Amino acid sequence: MKTLKIILLTAAVLLVTESYSSAQSIKETYEKGKKAFYSDDFETANKLLSEILNKGENDFEVCYYKGLIYFMYFDFDKAILELTKSIKMNDEYDKAYFNRGVIYERKENFPSAISDYSKAIEINENYTDAYYNRATLYQAAGNDKKAIKDYSQVIKMNSKDDIAFYNRGLLYEKTGNKEKAIKDFETAIKIDPIWKNELNKKIEEIKKSGK
């Protein structure tokens, strides 16, 4: 009986050791894959991440990076598929929603893009890029009030975003709020003088139209 206990204990130790070793191996493969991705070696990254999935390991971050790799290869449908898998495994993963929104936008599926940007914002209220991208879609669709609101949120989080000031200025000009338009254009110029020639002309035109 004592011998049997020793055998069972040894087997249990071996099982735990093997399980730990396997987990470490998967983690190392994942880190190598992620490093390859950020080194723009997408082929190696794809190979390493696929190895993990082929072992039956379903991980939302692995699927996320697989989605980004397909995006880099301009295979938008596969990218959406992988990001959707990531979201199903972790429906609070704001980056997966955001990047799927970017791909939907590239496919000109604007309602789905807005929906994903909105979900990213719902999860992370400080997701500046999601506010900005959603603002540009609202602006393109003529939804001026929502676009202004989103650009204002971007500016609140980053007061040096000259493009947000520029775009909000255009919307204020469009909606007849000339004073605010001028103020935004002047701020854009202060942040980056590259706007000086274009926006000084617009400011003068706005002032003349108000006479």
User: Whose CA is closest to 92, among 65, 61, 69?
Assistant: 61
- pLDDT of amino acid 9: 57
Whole-model pTM: value is: 0.85
Angstrom distance (rounded) from CA 149 to CA 156 = 10
- pLDDT of amino acid 187: 98
Q: Could you report the average pLDDT of every consecutive run of 10 residues in the chain (211 residues)? A: 57 47 74 92 93 82 96 97 97 98 98 98 98 98 98 97 98 96 98 96 89 53
Delineate the domains of the chain, giving CATH numbers in brackets.
151-211 (1.25.40.10)
What backbone torsions phi and psi does residue 175 show, to the nearest 5 degrees? -90, 5
User: Whose CA is closest to 158, among 136, 201, 187, 183?
Assistant: 187
- pLDDT of amino acid 23: 58
